[in-house]
């Protein structure tokens, strides 16, 4: 399945009124995609596993773009839309929906999602209409207290800048722990003196592509506040993993980010 498949519901069936409300397409699509992945694998942990990588992508884009571009509801004006295009509508939009799901409970939120698609089928929708429909759906329902419902900070979510106001959720890192541990091992290996140190020996040949992406994302995060890897470390990673030869663009892009920062001219 691809993201475009999920856009059949959240994008084609229900469409954002203008590009200022683009997150209503893509935030819903990310939420739906992650729900479907858990059903495919019959494992709820895949929801968090995928969201962990999304959080890093969002964090990178928020630091890269202007503060105004990190708002969910954008004021585009005459600016080039490409200047504001990022993972924000996808991942920050997802986290708004995920925060609402945690507030009312998963079963109740799934019922709401169905009601939302039915209500706005073959129509366009604004963020304010979504907010009002959510509040009217749950007001007096017993799923959540009216006090909690009214205290939800919609303004910070829809119009605020920066990362989601909820902070990073307490993700289940069971599926990502091996990848994150291996990243730490490689960074520790790089910090050792001498050429006789042996690189980490973990066999990742049976890892899925998302696990390899998670490993490289963890490497990039671990290298943010320190010097790049030594060229000898990049060479060892090439010999063991062949990342530089992969046809998977997500893996290749991340490895090139690591290698280029280390001035590996073979990757230029």
Q: How confident is the prediction along the chain (268 residues), in pLDDT tens digits per residue?
A: 455 565 676 767 899 999 899 999 999 999 999 999 899 889 999 999 999 999 999 999 999 999 999 999 998 777 777 777 899 999 999 999 999 999 999 999 999 999 999 999 999 999 999 999 999 999 999 999 999 999 999 999 999 999 999 999 999 999 999 999 999 999 999 998 766 788 998 999 999 899 999 999 999 999 998 999 999 999 999 999 999 999 999 999 999 999 999 999 988 8
pLDDT of residue 17: 93
Query: What are the φ/ψ torsions at residue 187 (nearest 5 degrees)?
Result: -65, -40
How would you write the chain as a 3-class SS string?
Answer: CCHHHHCCCECCCEEECCHHHCHHHHHHHHHHHHHHHHHHHCCCHHHHHHHHHHHHHHHHHHHHCCHHHHCCCCCCCCCCHHHCCCCHHHHHHHHHHHHHHHHHCHHHHHHHHHHHHHHCCCEEECHHHHHHHHHHHHCCCCCCCHHHHHHCCHHHHHHCCCCCCCCCCCCCCCCCHHHHHHHHHHHHHHCCCCCCCCCCCCCCCCCCHHHHHHHHHHHHHHCCCCCCCCHHHHHHHHHHHCHHHCCCHHHHHHHHHHHHHCCCHHHC
pLDDT of residue 118: 96
pLDDT of residue 2: 52
Angle at 151 (CA atoms; ends 148, 154), nearest 5 degrees: 120
pLDDT of residue 83: 74
pLDDT of residue 61: 95
pLDDT of residue 151: 96
d(CA 53, CA 264): 25
Angle between helices 45-64 and 209-222 (to 10 degrees): 40
pLDDT of residue 126: 97
Distance (Å) of CA 48 to CA 21, 174, 239: 25, 9, 31
Work out whether the CA dihedral 263, 266, 267, 268 comes out positive or negative. positive
pLDDT of residue 195: 64
pTM above 0.75, yes or no: yes
């Amino acid at each position: 399945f691809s993201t475009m498949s999920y856009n059949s519901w959240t994008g084609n069936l229900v469409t954002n009124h203008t590009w200022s409300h683009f997150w209503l397409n893509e935030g819903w699509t990310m939420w739906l995609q992650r729900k479907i992945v858990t059903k495919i694998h019959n494992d709820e942990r895949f929801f968090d596993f995928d969201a962990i990588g999304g959080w890093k992508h969002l964090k990178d884009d928020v630091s890269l773009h202007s503060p105004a571009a990190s708002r969910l509801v954008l004021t585009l004006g005459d600016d080039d839309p490409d200047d504001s295009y990022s993972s924000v509508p996808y991942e920050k939009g997802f986290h708004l929906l995920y925060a609402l799901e945690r507030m009312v409970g998963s079963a109740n939120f799934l019922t709401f999602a169905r009601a939302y698609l039915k209500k706005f089928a073959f129509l366009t929708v604004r963020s304010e209409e979504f907010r009002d429909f959510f509040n009217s759906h749950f007001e007096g329902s017993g799923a959540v207290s009216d006090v909690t419902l009214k205290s939800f900070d919609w303004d910070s979510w829809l119009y605020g800048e920066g990362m989601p106001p909820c902070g990073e959720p307490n993700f289940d890192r069971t599926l990502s722990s091996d990848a994150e541990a291996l990243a730490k091992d490689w960074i520790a290996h790089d910090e050792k003196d001498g050429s006789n140190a042996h690189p980490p020996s973990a066999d990742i040949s049976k890892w899925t592509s998302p696990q390899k992406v998670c490993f490289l994302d963890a490497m990039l995060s671990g290298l943010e506040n320190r010097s790049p890897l030594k060229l000898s470390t990049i060479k060892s990673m090439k010999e063991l993993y062949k990342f530089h030869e992969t046809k998977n663009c997500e893996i290749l892009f991340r490895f090139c980010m690591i290698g280029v920062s280390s001035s590996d001219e073979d990757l230029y």
